[in-house]
Amino acid sequence: MSGTAARCGVMTLTCGLALSGAAFAHWTATGSGSGQANPGTVSAITVNQTSTLSALAPGVPAQTLSGNFTNPNSGPVYVTSVTATVAGTDQPGCDEDDYVIAGSATVNAHVPAGSGVGSWSGLTMAFNNLPGVNQNACQGAIVDIDYTSN
């Protein structure tokens, strides 16, 4: 009897292994499908000037322009550089030609979402002393600067 019991124990183990192997069997098939993705749109960021320029006058050295950004998007936006131009002044007789913006503001970085984030620098602004031209109208002028990022 002990030989028969031993055969049944081996038989049960063999059957159990055979059934567990069947649990891993599967059918194969091919298929196809389609979907869509919408990357959304990006809102423009705002270039902020944080540096303060004062006493721009003939013979005074150029002063540094620098700042940060306001990014209203839900994620970061890549900025390559910032450029600036003089847009005008609040004084009649004092215009864009009376000031010079020079240099380059290379950013080459992702600007995170938020206000007052990231940074830029590298531009300078100076009074453009025009010999033989009366530039007294520029005394005390407020100069408007337009910034562009790309």
Q: Is residue 4 part of a domain?
A: no
Given a cut of 70, whether residue 14 has pLDDT beyond it is no
Instruction: Give the rounded distance of the alpha carbon of 141 from its chain centre.
Output: 33
- Reference 81, options 48, 46, 120, 118; nearest CA is 120
Continuous segment of H or E residues that includes residue 20: helix 2-22
14-23, 76-85, 96-105: range with lowest mean pLDDT: 14-23
Q: Is residue 2 part of a domain?
A: no
Residue 109 lies in a domain: yes
pTM reported for the whole predicted model: 0.74
CA distance 66 to 140: 22
- Do the domain assignments include residue 111? yes
For residue 11, give every residue at least 6 positions away whose Cβ sits within 8 Å of its Cβ, in sequence order, or none.
none
Q: Is the residue at 26 inside a domain? A: no
Structure tokens at 37: 């993705």
- The residues, ordered by sequence, that sit 6+ positions from 108 with a Cβ below 8 Å of its Cβ are 79, 80, 81
Domain contains 95: yes
Q: Is the dihedral of CA 52, 120, 48, 142 positive or negative?
A: positive
Name the domain count of the chain.
1
Please check whether residue 69 lies inside any domain of the structure.
Answer: yes
Examine residue 19 and state whether it is found in any structural domain, yes or no. no
Domain that holds residue 93: 46-149
Average pLDDT of span 58-82: 97
User: pLDDT tens-digit profile of 95-113?
Assistant: 999 999 999 999 999 999 9
